[in-house]
Amino acid sequence: MDAKELIARRVAREIKPGMLVNLGIGLPSMVANFVPAERGVFFQAENGVIGLGARPPEGMEDRHLTDAGGGFVTAVPGAVSIDSAMSFGLIRGGHLDMTVLGGLQVDEEGHLANWKVPGKMVPGMGGAMDLVTGAACVIVAMQHAAKGQSKIVPRCVLPLTALRRVDLVVTDLAVLRPGPEGLSLAERAPGVSVDEILAATEARLIVPSEVPEMRVD
């Protein structure tokens, strides 16, 4: 199992039956692959689709059916397309049970920076600000480090996506839970020690006496 699959599988365990869930582009979109259909979950993309399924097999793509990042997706029975105004009405109106987003940095206060990529021209943060502000639960799914640099930092140096604290951070090394006192180490990835997590993390972590191993089955 590679790092991205490990993260997606762990996030999938947070999704309860009947939820309306937004999946961000990239790694978060993989979460749909690990949520059983019988759970009755509806995945939403802000470009106007409710009822996203997993990525289609190669050669079976429909150019009219994509997620917000332009990636090909499938539609489950009962799926519906809506216009952008209604889609953002759901997001801004607080009707999403959960959003799963990628991240560039998360800091000790649980703030997320995920839209301004250093060295790249970007048109803006898109729907990320609305999602972090409007969803009932915000989960960040990202690798713990990039190019040897920790993405769990004392304070974000990249522009924040929103002022709201996220609810959970799932990486290839750990599950972190932001709170008023800081970032708590809730779980460690299979085969990863607490010392390895601390060595890979720039931010201060609150470490309980026992840190269970994350389940990804």
> Which amino acid type is present at position 194?
V
Q: Which of 5, 14, 46, 181 does the annotation list as catalytic?
A: 46
Residue 170 backbone phi and psi in degrees, to 5 = -115, 120
Half-sphere exposure for 18 (CA within 13 Å, toward CB):
0
Q: Where are the beta strands (DSSP E) in 19-72?
A: 20-23, 42-45, 49-52
Residue 64 backbone phi and psi in degrees, to 5 = -90, 0
Whole-number Å distance between alpha carbons of 26 and 141: 10
Whole-number Å distance between alpha carbons of 212 and 192: 11
Whole-number Å distance between alpha carbons of 44 and 24: 9
Residue at token pair 């947070």: 14
Residue 154 DSSP label:
S
Residue 46 annotated as catalytic:
yes
Residue 4 DSSP label:
H
The set of catalytic residues is 46
